[in-house]
Structure 1
Amino acid sequence: MARLKLDFPEDQYYFSTQLTVRVTDINGANHLGNDSMISMISEARARFLFEFGVQDSGAGTGGVGIIVTDLATTYKTEAHARDQLLFEVGVMDFNQYGGDITFRITRPRDGKLVAMAKSGFVFFNYKTSQVTPMAPEFLSKFPKVNRLD
């Protein structure tokens, strides 16, 4: 099986936030579990979207928010309980309806790269259950992002 390779341009990170690995995030192998990493990526995504004025659920925006279409993650080193992790968040590959949110996750204590991730998203009208075009206001916040359409 071919290995997944995630590599993102340095200039596409727009936001960063720190999260702490909790004891309850540790799996039977005594490191950060995959399920907990996905939860942490989701939290970093939610903080990023909030910072840029986008609500995931569409509440208060006429029902329009975003919905995740896919997620890819590569792991580079283990993380353990009480590790502080830095989530750098960016966007790339915009199309008419959405694009990719990217994540570089490092451990500032030793500078180690813990993981890379990409989450595809589209704008979604929760009232009609339909994909909807990306709002120009969102697009204008990221003038350097390449477009695929």
Structure 2
Amino acid sequence: MTTPFTADHTSRLTVRIGDINYGGHLGHDRLITLLHQARIELLHALGATETDCFGAGLIMRHLTCDYRGEAFLNDTLDIAMRVDNLRNAAYTLQYSVTSGDRPIAAAAAEMVAYDYQRHKIIALPPAFADALHRRRENHHDQ
């Protein structure tokens, strides 16, 4: 989670009053919620959702998070994300969270293609990799 990466998508979110904990800074649990919001925005940019990722649902199998700095009320967070380690049924989503030039957190989530009707892991549809490839090509051209 420490290697710099080229982002597939960056979401810009603001720390709200409900995100602040007793210590006067962004709560660890609220950071996870902000990562979720950013993931939804990445999927939307790809033309997908968590419940319909080109015909599959998505479920999180594993999440790690390194907290690197504090964020405060009204701070703007840039949450950069990159899909890595694309496999048959899963991928790793890398996150880098900054506020200006201050590192706030780095995280990685293992996302798995899931059939919520049958409650089982399934293959990640090829259309996901295709959409990701198109997005990377378009960003490279800009």
User: SS at 1:47's partner residue?
Assistant: helix
Task: Give the share of equivalent positions with the same residue, in percent.
Answer: 25
Unaligned stretches of 5+ residues in structure 1: 1-5, 145-149
Q: How many residues align?
A: 134
Letter in 2 for 1:67: I
* Distance (whole Å) between structure 1 residues aligned to residue 35 and residue 62 of structure 2: 13
- Specify which of 52, 57, 60 is matched with residue 65 of structure 1: 57
| Structure 2: 5+ residue stretches without partners | 137-142
Q: Deviations over 1:19-57 (max 9, x none)?
A: 100111111111100110010000001110111122212
Q: What's the RMSD between the two structures over aligned residues?
A: 1.7
Q: Read off the aligned partner of 2:47 and give its amino acid letter.
A: G
Match of 2:47 in 1: 53
TM-score (norm 2): 0.87
TM-score by length of 1: 0.83
Task: Give the conservation status (yes or no) of the 8 Å contact 2:77–2:98.
Answer: yes
**Counterpart among 26, 30, 45 of residue 24 in structure 2:** 30
| Contact 1:84–1:107 under 8 Å retained in 2 | yes
Q: 2:123 aligns with which of 109, 117, 133?
A: 133
Give the alignment partner of residue 95 of structure 2, picking from 98, 103, 107: 103
Higher helix share: 2
Shift in Å at residue 102 of structure 1? 1.0
Contact 1:31 1:78 in 2 (8 A): yes
2:114 aligned residue: 124
Amino acid aligned to 2:79: F
SS in 1 for 2:117: coil
2:140 match:
none
